[in-house]
Amino acid sequence: PLLTRDIELEIAPACLYNGLGIIGWSPLAGGMLTGKYGDGRETNEQGRFAGGDMGKWWRDRWATEENYGATAGFLRISKDLKVSPVTLAIAYALLPDWMTSVIIGARTLDQLADNLAAGDFVIPDDYREKLDEIGRASCRERV
């Protein structure tokens, strides 16, 4: 949940209070956090942002200037930590005590390996703070 944090306001506290688990959806933000959509200046005809009604829905949800800026910062951290952005995104999504699991998906064995590596990857505290700030800044811009 790096790029959308609204679940933290009411849903997560209600689930914790009632002893319910949460399974996170789209920890890669529709592919944004993989870096495959670049900085948003060029159209990428692959992935979820491709044409059609569903592509428009994904673009409308994720393809914002704030999210492209947050993604750039996220990718710098991934590079600093020498870890796949997929592994970092999923590991970050799993951090909150209210997150039970996340939905993952992979088309290749390499993608699956990056997804599964998140279960063992420990984000150093100083980088977690940087990721938290990226997420907060991205959400602040939309309020």
Encode pLDDT of 68-99 as tens digits. 889 999 999 999 999 999 999 999 999 998 99
The neighbouring-strand residues paired with 23 are 101
Mind listing the pLDDT tens digit for each residue in 10-62? 899 999 999 999 999 899 988 889 888 876 666 666 677 777 888 888 878 88
CB atoms within 10 A of CB 138: 24
Q: What does pTM read for this prediction?
A: 0.86
**Among 49, 59, 67, which residue's Cα sits nearest to residue 3?**
67
First to last CA, the chain: 17
Give the model's confidence band at 143: pLDDT under 50 very low, under 70 low, under 90 confident, else very high: very low
**Coil, helix or strand for 10?**
coil
- Contact between 1 and 27 under an 8 Å Cβ cutoff? The reply is yes
